[in-house]
């Protein structure tokens, strides 16, 4: 893929593409024995967060951005404040057809710059053992593993289902 990518703030017209990317990315992640758990997680996350993404992140003193290539939404991510001076990176997904093109790294760099612009001193994030490329990206970008745990319960932030989650942070 040789499309130039730009990152911009989410607008309402992005809603359907954001929703579709969220669903597709999570279905691709789902191991066959956890399909039902992932479908429940997707449904819960749509209702609690994705279907009102601008309000959700706005209420949390954050924002939501999309990566656009041509007229296609290729990636997305959100930031929400979780403590004084600390933001959390959320919902960073790249369309499966556009992976391995540097889009995630570009979005991560944008998120870090946005945190600095907002005078945040740290960016936190988490991912699961199912997302090996994300684990590699975060480690290579200087994120420090602060804890690992097994997610037992489902929320709009995790599938639960006993999946190992890794929590990282980076001082900016």
Distance CA 140, CA 162 (A): 26
86-94: strand order across its sheet: 5-9, 63-69, 72-83, 86-94, 122-128, 163-171, 144-151
**Which residues does residue 168 pair with via DSSP β-bridges, in sequence order?**
125, 145
Distance CA 17, CA 23 (A): 10
Domain 5-124 listed as CATH 3.40.630.30: yes
**Which residues does residue 167 pair with via DSSP β-bridges, in sequence order?**
126, 147
Domain ranges of the chain: 5-124
Distance CA 53, CA 48 (A): 9
Express each pLDDT in 93-141 by its tens digit: 999 999 888 999 999 999 999 999 999 999 999 998 888 899 999 999 9
> Is pLDDT larger for residue 164 or for residue 26?
26
């Amino acid at each position: 893929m040789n499309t130039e990518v730009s990152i911009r703030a989410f607008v309402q017209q992005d809603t359907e593409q954001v929703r579709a990317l969220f669903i597709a990315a999570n279905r691709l992640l789902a191991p066959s024995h956890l399909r039902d758990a992932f479908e429940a997680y997707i449904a819960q996350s749509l209702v609690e967060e994705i279907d009102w993404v601008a309000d959700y992140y706005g209420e949390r003193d954050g924002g939501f951005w999309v990566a656009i290539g041509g007229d296609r939404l290729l990636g997305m991510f959100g930031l929400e404040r979780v403590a004084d001076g600390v933001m959390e990176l959320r919902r960073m997904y790249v369309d499966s057809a556009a992976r391995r093109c540097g889009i995630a790294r570009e979005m991560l760099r944008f998120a870090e710059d946005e945190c600095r612009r907002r005078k945040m001193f740290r960016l936190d994030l988490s991912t699961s053992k199912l997302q090996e490329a994300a684990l590699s990206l975060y480690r290579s970008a200087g994120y420090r593993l602060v804890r690992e745990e097994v997610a037992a319960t489902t929320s709009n932030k995790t599938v639960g289902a006993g999946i190992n989650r890794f929590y990282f942070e980076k001082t900016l």
